[in-house]
Amino acid sequence: MVKSLSGKALTYYNEFMEQIRRKNPNEPEFLQAVEEVAQTVSPYIIENPHYQKAKILERIAEPERIISFRVPWIDDKGEFQINRGYRIQMNSAIGPYKGGLRFHPSVTQSVLKFLAFEQVFKNSLTTLPMGGGKGGADFDPKGKSDNEVMRFCQSFMSELFRHINSDNDVPAGDIGVGGREVGYMFGQYKRLKNEFTGVLTGKGLDFGGSLIRPEATGYGNVYFSVEALNAHKMDIKGQVCVVSGSGNVAQYTVEKLIELGAKPVTLSDSGGFIYDPEGFDSDKLAFVMDLKNVKRGRISEYAKKYKKAKYTEGKTPWGVKCDLAYPSATQNELHGDDAKELIKNGCKGVFEGANMPSTPDAIEAFIKAKIIFAPGKASNAGGVATSGLEMSQNSLRLSWSREEVDQRLQNIMRSIHTSCVKYGTEKGFVNYVRGANIAGFVKVANAMLGQGLV
Ligand code: NDP
Ligand code: 2IT
């Protein structure tokens, strides 16, 4: 995409990226996320020089605060274990820091900075008053007992509690952090602070959680895709869909796709992918949910239960012929070659459920082929948006019905789509990457201008 920059925008971009690369060596994921935003936003900044003068993008790329801490805990064998925990408080221009916690062995400062950076733009797009943050630890929940996970979560919160409260920073889940982990962390926070507040979202329904929050990211992504398909005079019904991942986002993406009459045919995990040519139905999805959420097993088990399905080890599902793709596992899981394969097989739309699942080469290929490409910061924003709705309900000390939350989620996804179209349309083609980045930037930038140099 940098090829499309010229003149002052190119000079601005090059000078900006040179500083960012110098200040953030060895942080490839963070640089990748910043580069994409800078490429699309630079021309807009040149057209609106007050943003350049106030160094808004330079400030957005510098975290307001990074907290890094030791997390000691004792495993079931009585051995001492040490992990590293983080919270990146990226930007609070439009509201309290908001964003998930990720527990995965691949967690580094670079990964969390990329996620926190993207979260700033995503949260801005939701229309709700939320700043951006992200956190987590290099802890691997796989193969750990419930008690080990609980001890880890308690130790993690025994440091994090000093830095967060319901008015300044409200974490939630992400990879490796679901309802169980949020519950353990909430319990420890309440115990340490002696306060019952909405300091975390994604809580259990019995202690302040919101209906629809577990479903929201997957549902929201499908709602976004319906908006985009309608805008391109297409219908979701009957479309063959390839989905990656088999965690929270993937499961509820499949659930909504089934409900709307589409045909999801794949799921994956870090071991490989399953392809069910007959498509999933609600019984098969119930099997997957029990396998992944209760038994905490591997997706390969699916092919043992359903004989017409095939498990392919060590591969991602992008070679399966499809109409639509929903990458919903992790960053950089869909490469340039995969993108070319999807396009060759007739794929008409890619909707990112995960954060930054497509590499820059893949994004370039999708945009060049002029298929619908929805970046995660727009299409997966339904999760954090519903977290925002959980915060509102907690402040009101009320719970809204399932229908009410779902309707608000649908309205938010529609509004995000409209913002992308507004800022991303060029010669009749909607560049959703540019649209999401500029629309997300404008609100944060204006709030920063209004608050002076802080
Ligand atoms: P889960 O932990 O529930 O599921 C993660 C899934 O992705 C699992 O199937 C996991 O497989 C797979 N996965 C994780 N890491 C890798 C890897 N390195 N290589 C291949 N597969 C991998 O997480 P979520 O479903 O919540 O999150 C999925 C994505 O969606 C992430 O990018 C997250 O940031 C994003 N997201 C999540 C939101 C939410 O509300 N939860 C909101 C917005 C975005 P395995 O079991 O083998 O690890
Ligand atoms: O990436 C994301 O938007 C999330 N993991 C959800 C964050 C949240 O605060 O609900």
Residues 111-163 have pLDDT tens digits of 999 999 999 999 999 999 999 999 999 999 999 999 999 999 999 999 999 99
Q: Is residue 211 part of a domain?
A: no
Atom of ligand 1 nearest to the CA of 251: 25
Give the closest residue (by CA) to ligand 2 atom 9.
Answer: 99
Q: Is the CB of 141 under 6 A from ligand 1?
A: no
In 3D, which of 61, 8, 62 has the Cα closest to residue 38?
61
Distance 384 CA to ligand 2 centre (A): 5
Q: Residue 261 and residue 168: Cα distance in Å, rounded?
A: 42
Q: Is residue 237 part of a domain?
A: yes
Q: Is residue 365 part of a domain?
A: yes
Distance 31 CA to ligand 2 centre (A): 20
Regarding whether 127 and 6 lie in a shared domain, the answer is: no
Q: Give the CATH number, domain containing residue 134.
A: 3.40.50.10860
Q: Is the CB of 218 under 6 A from ligand 1?
A: no
Whose tokens are 């040519």? That residue is 277
Atom of ligand 2 nearest to the CA of 202: 10
Instruction: Measure the N-to-C terminal CA separation of the chain; round to a whole number of Å.
Output: 32
Regarding whether 127 and 27 lie in a shared domain, the answer is: no
Q: Is residue 402 part of a domain?
A: no
Regarding whether 182 and 70 lie in a shared domain, the answer is: yes
Q: Indicate whether 3 pLDDT > 70.
A: no
Q: Indicate whether 450 pLDDT > 70.
A: yes
Q: Give the CATH number, domain containing residue 311.
A: 3.40.50.720
Query: In whole numbers, what is the pLDDT of the chain averaged over residues?
Result: 98
Q: Indicate whether 2 pLDDT > 70.
A: no
pLDDT on residue 4: 84
Regarding whether 264 and 350 lie in a shared domain, the answer is: yes
Q: Is the dihedral of CA 171, 177, 179, 183 positive or negative?
A: negative
Q: Indicate whether 366 pLDDT > 80.
A: yes
Would you call 260 helix, strand, or coil by DSSP?
coil
pLDDT class of 272 with cuts at 50, 70, 90: very high
pLDDT, tens digit (0-9, with 9 covering 90-100), for 215-247: 999 999 999 999 999 999 999 999 999 999 999
Q: Is the CB of 387 under 6 A from ligand 2?
A: yes
* Nearest 10 degrees: Cα torsion 353, 358, 362, 366: 20
Regarding whether 278 and 224 lie in a shared domain, the answer is: yes
Q: Indicate whether 1 pLDDT > 80.
A: no
Regarding whether 171 and 75 lie in a shared domain, the answer is: yes
State which residues form the domain around 280. 216-379
Give the closest residue (by CA) to ligand 1 atom 36.
Answer: 354
Q: Which of 379, 402, 426 is the last residue of a domain?
A: 379
Q: Is the CB of 99 under 6 A from ligand 2?
A: yes
Q: Is the CB of 327 under 6 A from ligand 1?
A: no
Q: Is the dihedral of CA 431, 379, 108, 86 positive or negative?
A: positive
pLDDT on residue 128: 98
**10 Å Cβ neighbour count for 86?**
24
Give the closest residue (by CA) to ligand 2 atom 3.
Answer: 384
pLDDT, tens digit (0-9, with 9 covering 90-100), for 371-407: 999 999 999 999 999 999 999 999 999 999 999 999 9
Q: Is residue 393 part of a domain?
A: no
Regarding whether 375 and 239 lie in a shared domain, the answer is: yes
Regarding whether 241 and 103 lie in a shared domain, the answer is: no
Tokens of 252: 């509820």
Distance 104 CA to ligand 1 centre (A): 10
Q: Which of 134, 144, 256, 263 is catalytic?
A: 134
Atom of ligand 1 nearest to the CA of 267: 9
Q: Residue 296 and residue 152: Cα distance in Å, rounded?
A: 18
Ligand with smallest separation from the Cα of 119? 2
Strand pairing class (65-74; 80-91): antiparallel
Regarding whether 358 and 221 lie in a shared domain, the answer is: yes
Q: Is the CB of 214 under 6 A from ligand 1?
A: no
pTM greater than 0.85 (yes/no): yes
Q: Which residues contact 362 (CB under 8 A, 6 or more apart)?
A: 334, 335, 336, 338, 339
Tokens of 133: 């943050």
Q: Which of 329, 346, 379 is the last residue of a domain?
A: 379
Q: What is the DSSP letter of 177?
A: B
pLDDT, tens digit (0-9, with 9 covering 90-100), for 310-331: 999 999 999 999 999 999 999 9
Q: Which of 379, 408, 426 is the last residue of a domain?
A: 379
**10 Å Cβ neighbour count for 162?**
12
Would you call 299 helix, strand, or coil by DSSP?
coil
Cβ atoms 340, 362 nearer than 8 A: no
Q: How far is C-alpha 253 from the geometric centre of its chain's CA atoms?
A: 13
Tokens of 139: 């802890």
Q: Is residue 286 part of a domain?
A: yes
Mean pLDDT over residues 157-178, rounded?
98
Mean pLDDT over residues 57-85, rounded?
98
Q: Is residue 421 part of a domain?
A: no
Number of structural domains in the chain: 3
Distance 406 CA to ligand 1 centre (A): 22
CA separation (Å) from 355 to 79, 151, 329, 331, 351?
35, 28, 8, 6, 11
Regarding whether 371 and 303 lie in a shared domain, the answer is: yes
Atom of ligand 1 nearest to the CA of 356: 32
Q: Residue 268 and residue 286: Cα distance in Å, rounded?
A: 16
310 is catalytic: no
Regarding whether 74 and 57 lie in a shared domain, the answer is: no
In 3D, which of 342, 339, 371 has the Cα closest to residue 228?
371
Pocket test for ligand 1, best of 248, 289, 292 (most atoms within 8 A of CB): 248
Q: Indicate whether 299 pLDDT > 80.
A: yes
Q: Is residue 52 part of a domain?
A: yes
Regarding whether 93 and 191 lie in a shared domain, the answer is: yes
